A and B are shown apart, each in its own frame.
Chain A
Amino acid sequence: MQEVSSVAGSTAPSRGRWGVSTSNLVRYYAVANRILAFQGADEPVLNLVHSFLSGYYFTPTKFSAEGPPPAHLIDIHRAPDSLPQPETAGFPIEDGYCYPEEEQLTLVVNGSTIVVGPPEQNRTDIWLVEETAGLHPLALNNVILYAVQAALRRAGLYQFHSGCVLADENDSGVLIVGDSGSGKSTLTVSLLNEGWRFVSDDNLLLHDSQNGITAWALRQYFTFDEPTLRACNLLRFADVIGSRLPSDPDKLRFYARRAFPESFTETCVPGVILFPSISTEIKSRLESIKPADALMRLLRQCPWATCDAAAAPAHLALLAKLASQTRSYSLIAGSDVFANPNSITELLKTTNQTS
């Protein structure tokens, strides 16, 4: 990404800068054994958060004084019409800019501002401006998404775009990692049709646990375009095909957990990483990758590991541990992925992941 300099002449926003009073409206959500707290300026704001989180494995929960404290607080304020820009140099992110400053991150997304505090504060503040809501239906979702991702990183949970499947009767997971269009969802659902279990097609949380790096399901649905639904023989599940994604209208939500109710598992410890690429070859094949090469490929999928200074050391250590605990392969996916999905299962047996 190209580096840019911020121009507007004001300091980075800080809490209370606009005299916003703190609200008593708080809701708690559990995810991957952590609790995040959301404090809102009013009920509509918290309802917006709830609506956003309902597409993910965030479970509304109650806070107990005897239980663990929330790992992170996201405090959402309504702000004046326009906010001052940070003075520090920033760089572009999707729909906005990021301004790192020591261990604090300030994100300006669709006009609203997110301040991710230093680690000892365990809090992120959002200043929502009215103009954000007026941009397009996704604008507010994007703001919440960035804030939630940052809060999760501060809580030791790292969002990761990857499919994750498990061979039947085998608790060790296979991560399917690649850019959009590399065949992650197609391969995931081909294996589901072969009786494999699944955690996700594309959206996970990674966590460093006593058992090693653990993958948790994050998003509640898969996404497919119609040709892929047809090619993967998924149109037979018409009642679990949902609405189109506002951010990518070619893609439809597919609620795999309802189509394959016995196949879902919430979490697993990955033992293999596949980096697929679609080829014109007839027969799929695997090429082994050494851990350092795998780590470089993992980093490519994790841009925040290279710019969120407070989380970067732990984030990089987590990815390195993942690269070390797994065996990694390039999967050159041939036409047999569709023509004979069982061949992929047979191929993956060579990684010793299936019995």
Chain B
Amino acid sequence: MNEPAFLPLKKIVANQLDDGDGVLVDLETRQYYQLNETAMLIWRAVENGRNLDQIVEEIVAAYSISNDRALASAEALLTKLQNHKLIRPTL
């Protein structure tokens, strides 16, 4: 399965800083969120249409951590992003 699991909502503007951290702005609620480097990697992966397996692969490659730990990190952030209505599931 190469289908993305989530898509970012159009109302979100993202910007990544040179050190990897970033900020998301929700133009509808006018709220903004600070993301650390790992969270920005996951956000960029969602923007690029990656599915969960691919996101985990990118985290493992970037930080040399176990699959299980990368999966836990990805799932936790994706849940938060969904709760804040910054992404939506594709199904």
Contacts and interface: CB of A to CB of B under 8 A. Distances in A.
Nearest to B27: A309
A290 B19 contact: yes
Given A296-B23, A313-B13, A324 B18 contact: yes
Given A291-B18, A316-B15, A299 B30 contact: no
Contacts, number: 57
B31 interface: yes
A91 B31 CA distance: 13
Contacts of B29: 3
Contact of B17 (A303, A305, A324): A324
B53 interface: no
Given A292-B23, A296-B23, A306-B25, A91 B18 contact: no
Contacts of B13: 312-313, 316
Contact of B25 (A291, A312, A323, A324): A312
Given A292-B22, A292-B23, A1 B30 contact: yes
Interface of B is mostly: strand
Contacts of B22: 292
Interface in A171-226: none
Given A305-B25, A320-B15, A324-B18, A296 B32 contact: yes
A317 B16 CA distance: 9
B32 A306 contact: yes
A299 B25 contact: yes
A26 interface: no
Nearest to A309: B27
Interface residues of A, number: 23
Interface string B9-53: 001010111110111011101111011100000000000000000
B23 A320 contact: yes
A8 to B, nearest CB: 22
Interface of B: 11, 13, 15-19, 21-23, 25-27, 29-32, 34-36
5 contacts: A292-B17, A296-B34, A312-B13, A320-B17, A324-B18
Given A292-B23, A303-B30, 6 more contacts: A291-B19, A307-B30, A313-B13, A316-B15, A320-B16, A320-B17
